[in-house]
Amino acid sequence: MQTHEIRRRFLDHFVEAGHTEVPSASLILDDPNLLFVNAGMVQFVPYFLGQQTPPFDTATSVQKCVRTLDIENVGVTTRHNTFFQMAGNFSFGDYFKEGAITKAWSLLTGSQDDGGYGFDPERIWVTVYLDDDEALGIWRDVVGVPEERIQRRGMADNYWSMGIPGPCGPCSEIYYDRGPEYGADGGPEADEDRYLEIWNLVFMQNERGEGIGKDDFEILGPLPKKNIDTGMGVERVAFLLQGVDNVYETDLVRPVIAKAEELSGRVYGASDTDDVRFRVIADHARTAAMLIADGVNPGNDGRGYVLRRLLRRIVRSARLLGAEGATMLEFMTVVRDTMAQSYPELASDFSRISTVAVGEETTFLTTLASGSKLFEGAAETVRASGGSTIGGEQAFTLHDTYGFPIDLTLEMASEAGLTVDEEGFRSLMAGQRRRAKEDAQSRKHAHADLSVYKEFVDRGPTEFTGFEELVSEATVLAILDGGVRVPAATAGSSVEVILDRSPLYAESGGQIADLGTITAPGLTAKVDDVQKIAKTVWVHKVTIGEGQLTEGDTVVASVDPQWRKGATQGHSGTHMVHAALREVLGPNAVQAGSLNRPGYLRFDFSWQGQLAESQKQEIEAVANEAIAENYAVNTFETDLDKAKKMGAMALFGENYGDRVRVVEIGGPFSMELCGGTHVATSAQIGQVTLLGEQSVGSGVRRVEAYVGLDAYRHLAKERALLAGLSSSLKVPAEEIPARVESLVDRLRVAEKALDAERAKAVLSAAGTFADKAERVGDVRLVAEAAPSGVSAADLRTLVGDIRGRMGADAAVVVLLGDADGKVPFVAATNRAAQDLGVSAGDLVREFAPLVGGRGGGKADMAQGAGSDPTGIPQALGVVRDRVAEIAG
């Protein structure tokens, strides 16, 4: 049975049982504890917590999930995956244990002809919580599972919670016996490779308190309602029904491995080491494609860092398998072809997905090239010192600072006849992971208590009147002070106010909230911010200037008209810039985020590489030409599918309802899904002036611009600046660039001449230093403070020249400078001194700490820098003592 069919049968089974089918949420949700959605129940958390009333009593979904805590184990075992699909059915105060158990059993064991999965009931085992006699009795007496195939387990295995205060409860897990060839007899307690968990039924009936771990917390008491949350692993069911050994051999994953075989020339199953690499590619390619589809871009922290790491592990695994050149597009294509039936966005948005993935591959291939040079330097240093092992710290620096994988370090070391201190490297990596885990745990906290808003979420959405008017009469539904509902608030108070209707725009879609007032006879209150709760309830954050605001009051809510005018210009200007970007750069330049406020906008978009100046000028020109056309701005509501067929652009990673609002400017020029406020015609935007363009992450660029009067003011300043330069340089404005270029060229020539004179002066001092060399045993030693102001580069030249003037005698030269509080230093020895046992590198390592610095190098020359000039005399003393000790 194909995986797509397994998904479909699950949803059909529960829809026929009266459940509402709910689409998978984005992998990115606004949850402070989650980088990515990692379980099927995550989008339903507000219902389980009682913060919102669910619009249905029962639901079913197949949720896409990503878990990356065990990323290092992916490929090493066949049990770990970063991306997986969790099929679930949910009850919010409707059926409980018996309903969950019997519905799961009927789907698992029902015949395939009747829409079931057709599992042999004699091979199914179940576990229940230690004291859950009710669940055990249902399995035994209602379903008919023999008691010898029901096992009781403790909290660590059969008691579920989110890991933070909130709903929790015992669970019952369903296992399938794969047969004696996969492990020992004795049920799940004996061997969880043979007895494979395929479904977990969670009976949410209690509330947990503070604590850590899976079993170190207090159970506070029962929940108001008993809920059901189940999760069936689609991939696990797939490999059982497809008769293969693990998920990597199923219909949606094995094709990626086949492509890797084709590109590398190696065969899956021939080598354990290669098999790990094949599995890493197959797993990570799926995960990366799904993350990019939901709006994640490679970066250096958070979600972006996870994606970057996944993509780079694909690249390095392909390289270690022997694949030459770029491979990412091939893997992304296979993922699209296998997964698009369930996730059509992989096909419709493939151009952007592949562009982001290939861009990261290109960047990393460059990193590998530079990392190889760094490795060669480290290897040369090891050989020069007579060693054969690259230190764990060096390997860790290559990995952590330069992104050079340890796998390649080990491979290249072996080719160079060297080894790597793997134990030291692993220890440093373990320390890094421990610190990261501790940091993540310190930032993990309970879900914000939004229950105070539940009444108003259940009541229905705030009526937003701001599309039609800037002043609305409204009723005060509630006043909240510090999260607590209060009957009234007086002058000087800062409170939250919920109205039944409001013209003030609540921050969303990149547009910041309106400013305005709430007034009534004897009352004035300034609205500082407006935020949404559950995307439906407007919460006005206000400061009361005079009078008293009381729940139930009739008030007038007003938008600052100048603020709204600027806000509409900024938001409509954002749409124009987006359309201009796509016209100039092509369809791959799609939105990756935006922010607009009165007079200003910034727009992030997917793109590889810096924009040329000509491209920026063309984008600005296209946007302003469209503005000058005075296009009508039309808004209308329609079905989501119809809007997409019309070509309306949507923000990636955003969840939209069945009905959406479309903003159309100039017919086909710009059409986007948007809930923001806009001008009536494009000419009202005024003007768009691009301020600049920069990178904000791998594959993501950002443009910033002023609009309207702010654009005019910016250009006026630029014009004044240009006039000032024209006057100072005594040339017309159009000749300023040529004049500046000429001045820069003359400055470069002067600087080179100055550098030459300075070097000449420095070298002239070499003879003086050589003549002053002191005799220490058999060594001629120069250990002095360098001339004031000598740069590190000149210092190296000077030391080398002094050493050359010392003839065949054993010679050691050490100079320490003092340049603007920095202490550059260089040490050099000739062959005769080295034969006596004097090493420049060793000397530097001994005295560098005395000047607050570090340094290193080879036996003939070493250098470094410090920050404490007061230590120079002591450092020179150490040099003399050390040379005297070696030279006798």
Rg of the chain on CA atoms, in Å: 35
242 in helix, strand or coil?
Answer: coil
Report the run of H or E that residue 232 belongs to, with start and end. strand 216-233
* Residue 674 in marked binding region: yes
Q: Cα dihedral angle (706, 709, 714, 715), rounded to 10 degrees?
A: 110
Separation CA 527–CA 43 (nearest Å): 31
Residue type at 713?
A: R
Q: How far apart are CA 696 and CA 693, in angstroms?
A: 10
Cα distance between residue 859 and residue 115, in whole Å: 77
Q: Report the phi/psi class of residue 143: left, alpha or beta, with left for phi > 0 and alpha for psi in -120 to 50.
A: alpha
For every residue of 486-512, which 3-state class applies, written as one string?
Answer: ECEEECCCEEEEEECEECCCCCECCEC
Task: Give the DSSP H or E segment for 307.
Answer: helix 302-320
Phi, psi at 701, each rounded to 5°: -115, 160
Q: What is the length of the chain?
A: 888
Distance from C-alpha of 730 to C-alpha of 716, rounded to nearest angstrom: 21
The answer to whether 525 touches 518, Cβ cutoff 8 Å, is yes
Q: Is 65 annotated as a binding residue?
A: no
DSSP conformation letters of 626-689: HHHTT-BEEEEEEEHHHHHHTT-B--TT----SEEEEEEETGGGEEEE--S---SBGGGG--EE
Q: Which pair of structure tokens corresponds to residue 656? A: 């939209």
Annotated binding-site residue? 575: yes
* CA dihedral sign of residues 565, 571, 573, 575: negative
**Could you tell me the two tokens for 296?**
């994640």
Residue 168 annotated as lining a ligand binding site: no
Rounded-to-integer distance, Cα 879 and Cα 600, Å: 61
Is 240:198 a contact under the CB 8 Å cutoff? yes
Token pair for residue 153? 């387990």
- How far, in Å, CA of 81 to CA of 85, rounded? 10
Chain center to CA of 218: 34
Q: Which two tokens stand for residue 605?
A: 């978009």
Per DSSP, the residues of 579-608 read: HHHHHHH-TT--EEEEEEETTEEEEEEE-S
Distance separating alpha carbons of residues 866 and 289, to the nearest angstrom: 47
Count the alpha carbons within 13 Å of 448 in the hemisphere toward its beta carbon: 11
What region, left, alpha or beta, does residue 653 occupy, with left being phi > 0 and alpha being psi -120 to 50 degrees? left
Please write down the long-range contacts of 111-116, taking CB distance under 8 Å and 24 or more positions apart: 112/1, 115/9, 115/12, 115/13, 116/9, 116/13
- In 3D, which of 876, 860, 777, 756 has the Cα closest to residue 817? 876
How far apart are the C-alpha atoms of 346 and 168, rounded to whole Å?
A: 35
C-alpha separations of 512 from 424, 529, 596, 664, 711 in Å: 50, 9, 7, 21, 19
Q: How far apart are CA 876 and CA 887, in angstroms?
A: 16
Sign of CA dihedral 70, 74, 76, 78: positive
Binding-site residues from annotation: 571, 575, 674, 678
Binding-site residues from annotation for Zn(2+): 571, 575, 674, 678
